[in-house]
Amino acid sequence: MTVPRAARHDAVTRGLLSRTVATVASLALAGCGAGTGSAAEAGDDVRVVAAFYPFAYVAERVAGDDAAVENLTAPGAEPHDLELSPQQVAAISEATVVVYERGFQPAVDEAVAQNAPGAVVEVTAVVQPLAGDPHIWQDPTRLAAVADAVAEALAGADGEHATAYRERAGQLGSELRDLDEDFRQGLADCDRRSFVTSHAAFGYLAERYDLEMVSISGLSPESEPSPARLAEVQQIAAEEGVTTIFYETLVSPDVAEALAGDLGLQTAVLDPVEGLTDATADEDYFSLMRANLAALRHANGCT
């Protein structure tokens, strides 16, 4: 009687398919409408809270359908000065895994310290950090190490899906190593190695691909550069034959545009990939990083 049983299973599957698809679609829409990050419907008991976009992206890729992911930093918000709502603090205290970077968002550091969540992936403990620069995700190979750490934390908390978490982290790691190779080859042979950017978000990228980052405003995206710093950047730009002043998506381009205007240079976007905006809602970590690579190759005359 095994054949009838299989046939019955098939028939039930086919009969339910259209209704199931409709239900999943409406759940997905409800999730988007809530506006506080995405949630996998199948894994609501295993929950990852990620501090901001690059870590949320990694968490979603590793979690698949086996865990829900919440991003604490809303799209369009600058993660550097994130403040947490009481609901977000509660989400941290109830999370299966929290992924964050110590020293980048003081409100998150404090909430993690006070609310002792289940498991913590603290990124500077996973990868070798560069002194004073929090933007570790600008090095794809370091982000691959974060993916492995997230997979291990999830595997420890949810052993039933351990293999799936590790496989997805492995797949993401291989895509990140491909991206790294594209950057390495794409930036190997260039007329210039210096690039000018508004905030100093690209130290990891510069270190990994042997570029020289000249930042107008330093590490804080909102800070106003001094006249002395502007004069210094102007001089470096002239000496190095820089063609382009880069600015970024979450911060006003005013300073970059004024400087470029004074020097007769172009401006272009170099996205620090700290978060998505309305304009980049359809992008993801990989498409934004590849757009950055194209912009750098164009600005620096790479062949």
Residues 289/179, Cβ–Cβ less than 8 Å: yes
216 binds Zn ion (CB under 5 A): no
Cβ closest to Zn ion, residue 72 vs residue 201: 201
Residue type at 100 in one-letter notation: Y
Tokens of 194: 């210096």
> By rule CB under 5 A, what count of residues binds Zn ion?
1
Unique residue bearing structure tokens 């028939």: 11
Build a one-symbol-per-residue string for 85-124: x at contacts with Zn ion by CB under 5 A, - elsewhere.
----------------------------------------
Nearest-angstrom CA–CA distance, 250 and 274:
8
Instruction: Determine whether 49 is exposed, middle or buried from the number of CB atoms within 10 Å of its CB (0-12, 13-18, 19+).
Output: buried
Q: How far is the CB of 111 from Zn ion (least distance, A)?
A: 20
Residues 6 or more apart whose CB falls under 8 angstroms from that of 63 comprise 40, 43, 46, 48, 69, 154, 165, 168
Q: How far is the CB of 133 from Zn ion (least distance, A)?
A: 9
Q: How far is the CB of 78 from Zn ion (least distance, A)?
A: 8
Tokens of 141: 């190979």
Cβ closest to Zn ion, residue 104 vs residue 165: 104
Nearest-angstrom CA–CA distance, 260 and 269:
13
Residues 296/187, Cβ–Cβ less than 8 Å: yes
Site for Zn ion, residues 171 to 210, rule: CB under 5 A? 201
Q: How far is the CB of 202 from Zn ion (least distance, A)?
A: 9
Cβ closest to Zn ion, residue 42 vs residue 269: 269
Cβ closest to Zn ion, residue 60 vs residue 248: 248
By beta-carbon distance, which residue lies closest to Zn ion? 201
Cβ closest to Zn ion, residue 201 vs residue 214: 201
Build a one-symbol-per-residue string for 3-22: x at contacts with Zn ion by CB under 5 A, - elsewhere.
--------------------
Q: How far is the CB of 200 from Zn ion (least distance, A)?
A: 8
Cβ closest to Zn ion, residue 152 vs residue 271: 271
Nearest-angstrom CA–CA distance, 154 and 97:
7
Q: Work out whether the CA dihedral 263, 211, 294, 189 comes out positive or negative.
A: positive
Q: How far is the CB of 80 from Zn ion (least distance, A)?
A: 6
Interacting residue ranges for Zn ion, rule: CB under 5 A: 201
